[in-house]
Structure 1
Amino acid sequence: MTKPAPAPADLRDRARRVRLACFDVDGTLTDGRLLYDSAGAESKAFHVHDGQGLVLLRRAGIEVALVTARTSPVVERRATELGVRACSGIGDKLACVEGLAQGLGLELSQVAFMGDDLPDLKVMRRVGLSACPADAHPWLARETAWHAPRPGGRGAARAFCDMLLEAQECVDALIGELLAERPPALGAQA
């Protein structure tokens, strides 16, 4: 059964309530490819714009979590770099997100989840706002409230972060804060 897309005003209202934004990793924050070197070590490519979006959400007071079924030191490292929560090796993403929300004193209506394929559908049906990259699997996409204009790993998460920040009217304040800060040390990145 396909849910009808929310009206723009309803979507904005749902985005305004978000206090926890959760993101699948493979196919959402990455392009979905799994890369292994000859020793079997995994690597992933993350887009710096997506990372900046997650950092901006945190600055605006929105908690951020990476929720992935794969156990990955690479995801743990990226989460640490960005100052966000990492939940890897998760068999039941809905239970994980429910636990995160409960720990923060939030209702699921205050949670957003961005995913790209069927393992994300259960949690996306329960949260207040679901989102997907432009290249999400069509079975998931047809039930998702907000569709990014960009594919996974190539700015989809940043577009979603920007939409949340605009709905919560945080953009001008964030830009003002960033302009008032001293530049980061060389080598610092999002």
Structure 2
Amino acid sequence: MPSNDLPAVIRDRAAKVRLAVFDVDGVLTDGRLWYSEDGHELKSFHVHDGLGLKRLRANGIEVAIITARISHLVAKRMADLGVIHVYQGQEDKLACFDQLLHAMQLSAADCSYTGDDLPDIGVMTQVGLAIAVANAHPAVAARAHWQTRREGGAGAVREVCDLLLQAQGKADAELARPLGRH
């Protein structure tokens, strides 16, 4: 989506983002929980989302994950992508977010948050750019500044990444740099 197709207020909010925070289940995944016969959890991550996260980091926008669930698969995927701010088991996402802001010496206005369900609303009401995925709960969508066209786990995170890079004028310049595996 070209940045000139965006409302000016969204472009302005996205241009200020220095930290992009994402929920996992329903945002980086489609929200379904899969279990193998032996009880192991399985998750599916979209490869385009992974490249988007790498592109953010390569362009000076830090990435963080805040999720209520704990999953070895999330830790593995984020390690593969080089994401170091991974907070699992966070029942109080807003408290975690506040601690992250303090540690990184950022204000909430410097951040975006992408969510899909009710536990995300607390952080979404604080950030400079609140984003809901296409299939977010209606209460979450109502509180978002912007909503993706794609659903969680199906490229929604890549849309967010593209939005941020375009709004900051970094979308074209970063294409010349190698990004590695995603």
Greater shift, 48-57 or 85-94, is seen at: 85-94
Q: Report the AA paired with residue 93 of structure 1.
A: K
Q: Indicate if the aligned counterparts of 1:20 and 1:101 stay in contact, CA closer than 8 A.
A: no
Distance 1:54 1:101 in 2: 19
Q: Indicate if the aligned counterparts of 1:132 and 1:148 stay in contact, CA closer than 8 A.
A: yes
| Map of 1:105 onto structure 2 | 105
TM-score if structure 2 supplies the norm length? 0.93
Distance 1:90 1:105 in 2: 20
| Map of 1:80 onto structure 2 | 79
| Map of 1:152 onto structure 2 | 152
Runs of 4+ in 1 over 4 A off after TM superposition: none
| Map of 2:124 onto structure 1 | 124
Distance 2:79 2:27 in 1: 18
| Map of 2:3 onto structure 1 | none
Aligned runs of 1:3-22 on 2, under 5 Å? 8-22=7-21
Distance 1:127 1:177 in 2: 30
Structure 2: 5+ residue stretches without partners: 1-5
Corresponding residue SS for 1:130: strand
| Map of 1:133 onto structure 2 | 133
| Map of 2:167 onto structure 1 | 167
Q: Which has the larger radius of gyration?
A: 1
TM-score if structure 1 supplies the norm length? 0.89
Quote the offset at 1:15 in angstroms. 0.6
Quote the offset at 1:104 in angstroms. 1.1
What RMSD over aligned residues (CA atoms) do the two structures have, in Å?
1.3
Distance 2:115 2:68 in 1: 12
Structure 1: 5+ residue stretches without partners: 1-6
Distance 2:50 2:65 in 1: 11
Quote the offset at 1:95 in angstroms. 1.2
The count of aligned residue pairs is: 176
Corresponding residue SS for 1:33: coil
Corresponding residue SS for 2:143: coil
| Map of 1:90 onto structure 2 | 90
Q: Report the AA paired with residue 111 of structure 1.
A: C
| Map of 2:23 onto structure 1 | 24
1:63 paired to 2:62: yes
